[in-house]
């Protein structure tokens, strides 16, 4: 943001300076040129007035020579011509003579106003001696353009200096403004990221400067963070209380049923065994609900999790169970990739998926776990060749008790979906080619590489 604001203000300032300074410099340059020409023409007219007295009135050339000497002392070159373009008098400098001067004299004697040319760094000017339509001669004055060029260079130099100073001030002010705006926003962003990673006690600094709107945003964020922390802690307390309050009476009930079943016979023993099975099912259901609640309250701190190592570990842990049920559980070889996940989440996800697959696959079936890199994520697939799912069942499989035909509690895929999505990943169900179900997980790739 700092760079964007700085470049925006710098571009705007540059455009404004160009639109303001360049036209002003052009205007001042044009005025300097006009002033230089007017002054040169005025000096030429003075000499022309003195020359007219000599050429027209036949007076002595004293006045004309005096003006020519004054022009020479000023650094100008001047020459007086009669009506036949013959040189009458001139300064020691010959810059006012030559072909260009002769052309100017011809134009002036013809009553035209010539376009003054530049000759060897000097600007030429010509004026008639006497009336414009009936001149008695003409005067050509050549003046060095160096003073004009110096003044023009000074104008553009000062303009460039003003522009550079303006740009420098703009850079300093824009950087200061950008930091004033972006620093509290960056701090707020860092605080929000830490809060999202599970640091519920993180708060934004509302006294860190910046615009009033940003400070109000920080205060609002702190209020939201405090309420979120209270809500999460309250939910965690409820989960802990429910866990204690439900498991204790269930354990006591199971113990009493065990005592009653020890001396029971016949139909009574069968009924007590059925009650024990219902108690066990209820215990699994409570454990599943608590697991879903914990998953929904999870605020993970991402760490680098080696997917290949976790896959091999969980497949090795479940292989004895799969072997007892006649299921072949394998893990395909893959690259050593690391995913950005909360600690222990991938293990819990794979345990649920492998347990579901082993339960669903008949004797002699196969369950395969593989992983590979795809784009910016790690794709993990758990494939089986069991009966699969209908399209309707797949559509609701990630909801609590979404699949009424599930053999277990119907909560395993809900836990998987929550743990994957809370870490920034995605989960979906696909049909295995040839029959069966494939669970596809796209997990965020760890930014630090493998």
Would you write out the chain's pLDDT as a tens digit for each of its 450 residues?
Answer: 667 777 787 788 888 888 888 888 899 999 998 999 999 889 989 998 898 888 887 788 888 899 999 999 999 999 999 888 888 899 988 887 888 888 888 888 887 877 767 666 788 888 898 887 788 899 999 988 888 889 999 999 998 898 888 888 888 888 888 778 778 888 888 888 877 766 777 888 877 677 888 888 888 888 888 888 787 777 667 766 666 667 777 777 777 777 777 767 777 777 877 787 777 777 766 666 666 666 555 566 778 889 989 999 999 999 999 989 899 999 887 778 889 888 888 888 898 899 888 988 888 889 999 998 888 889 999 999 988 888 888 888 877 655 555 555 566 788 788 888 888 889 999 998 888 899 999 999 887 655
Q: Which of 295, 271, 269 has the alpha carbon at shortest distance from 413?
A: 295
Q: Give this prediction's pTM.
A: 0.48
CA 353/CA 338 separation, integer angstroms: 20
Exposed e or buried b for every residue in 78-97, given b needs 16+ CB within 10 A? bbbbbeeeebbbbbebebbb
- Residue 77, strand partner residues: 142
**107 close to 85: Cβ distance less than 8 angstroms:** no
CA 318/CA 66 separation, integer angstroms: 121
- Measured from the Cβ of residue 414, the count of other Cβ atoms closer than 10 Å reads 24
Which helix (H) or strand (E) segment holds residue 209: the answer is none
CB under 8 A, 24+ apart: contacts of 313-321: 313/347, 314/347, 314/350, 314/351, 314/354, 314/369, 315/354, 315/369, 318/351, 318/354, 318/355, 318/358, 321/358
Residues 6+ apart with CB under 8 A from 377: 339, 425, 442, 443, 444, 445
- Measured from the Cβ of residue 386, the count of other Cβ atoms closer than 10 Å reads 21
Any idea what DSSP says for residue 116?
Answer: -
Provide the pLDDT for residue 285: 66
> Longest C-alpha distance within the chain, in Å?
162
- Going along the chain from its start, the domains and CATH numbers come out as 2-150 (3.30.450.20), 212-296 (1.10.287), 303-444 (3.30.565.10)
Range list of β-strands (E), 289-431: 303-306, 328-331, 338-341, 366-374, 377-384, 426-431
């Amino acid at each position: 943001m700092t760079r964007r604001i700085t470049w925006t203000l710098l571009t705007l300032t540059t455009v404004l300076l160009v639109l303001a300074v360049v036209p002003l410099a052009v205007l001042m340059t044009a005025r300097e040129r006009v002033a230089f020409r007017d002054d040169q023409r005025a000096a030429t007219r003075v000499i022309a007035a003195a020359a007219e007295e000599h050429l027209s009135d036949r007076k002595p050339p004293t006045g004309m020579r005096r003006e020519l000497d004054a022009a020479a002392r000023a650094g100008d070159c001047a020459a007086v011509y009669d009506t036949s373009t013959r040189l009458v008098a001139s300064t020691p400098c010959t810059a006012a003579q030559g072909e260009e001067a002769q052309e100017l004299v011809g134009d002036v004697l013809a009553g035209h106003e010539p376009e003054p040319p530049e000759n060897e760094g000097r600007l030429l000017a010509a004026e008639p001696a006497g009336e414009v339509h009936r001149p008695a001669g003409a005067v050509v004055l050549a003046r060095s353009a160096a003073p004009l060029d110096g003044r023009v260079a000074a104008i553009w130099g000062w303009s460039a200096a003003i522009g550079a100073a303006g740009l420098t001030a703009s850079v300093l002010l824009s950087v200061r403004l950008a930091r004033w705006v972006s620093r509290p926003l960056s701090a707020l962003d860092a605080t929000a990221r830490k809060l999202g990673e599970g640091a519920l006690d993180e708060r934004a600094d509302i006294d860190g400067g910046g615009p009033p709107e940003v400070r109000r945003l920080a205060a609002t964020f702190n209020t939201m963070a405090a309420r979120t922390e209270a809500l999460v802690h309250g939910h965690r307390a409820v989960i802990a209380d429910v866990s204690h309050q439900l498991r204790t009476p269930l354990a006591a009930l199971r113990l009493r049923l065990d005592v009653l079943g020890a001396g029971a016979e016949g139909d009574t023993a069968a009924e007590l065994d059925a009650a024990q099975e219902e108690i066990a099912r209820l215990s699994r259901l409570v454990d599943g609900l608590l697991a879903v609640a914990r998953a929904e309250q999870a605020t993970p701190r991402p760490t680098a999790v080696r997917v290949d190592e976790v896959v091999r570990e969980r497949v090795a842990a479940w292989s004895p169970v799969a072997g007892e049920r006649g299921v072949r559980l394998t893990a395909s070889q893959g690259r050593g990739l690391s995913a950005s996940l909360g600690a222990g989440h991938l293990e819990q996800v794979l345990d649920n998926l492998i347990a579901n697959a082993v339960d669903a696959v008949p004797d002699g079936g196969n369950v395969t776990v593989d992983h590979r890199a795809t784009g910016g994520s790690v794709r993990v697939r758990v494939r089986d060749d069991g009966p699969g799912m209908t399209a309707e069942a797949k559509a609701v499989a990630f909801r609590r008790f979404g699949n009424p035909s599930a053999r277990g509690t119907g909560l395993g895929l809900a836990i998987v979906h929550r743990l994957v999505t809370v870490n920034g990943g995605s989960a979906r169900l696909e049909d295995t080619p040839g029959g069966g179900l494939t669970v596809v997980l796209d997990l965020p790739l760890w930014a630090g590489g493998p």
